[in-house]
Amino acid sequence: RYNSKFSVTTCSGYVSLPIGDEEALKQALATVGPVSAVINANSADFQLYREGVYDNANCSSELLDLPVLIVGYGTTEDGLDYWIVRNSWGVNWGMNGYINMS
């Protein structure tokens, strides 16, 4: 049962982004802040991720089962673009709780 006395944060607003518009996502990250998203996380290679840029061509865009927070983006030395994503599984998963996803 929700009790506002124990609330530690509030949402001051939101922005809806066009589906698939990576430039809009980058702009929102730069001007608004972290962006919530939902991803497909039921593959073993995702669950066992430790480092590098995660890229799974078989990842479903319909079977979405894990809420995450996109906190940034980058490009590898080889020119591969990726999103910096914070998972909710704790710091013992991935790179201290984060994953770089292409």
pLDDT digits 0-9 by tens, 67-87 = 999 999 999 999 999 999 999
Ordered domains of the chain (ranges, CATH):
21-101 (3.90.70.10)
DSSP 4-17: GGG-----------
DSSP 63-86: ---EEEEEEEEEE-TTS-EEEEEE
What pLDDT sits at residue 3?
87
Which has the higher per-residue pLDDT, 87 or 10?
87
pLDDT digits 0-9 by tens, 27-82 = 999 999 999 999 999 999 999 999 999 999 888 888 899 999 999 999 999 999 99
* pLDDT at residue 18 tops 90: yes
Q: Model-level pTM?
A: 0.87
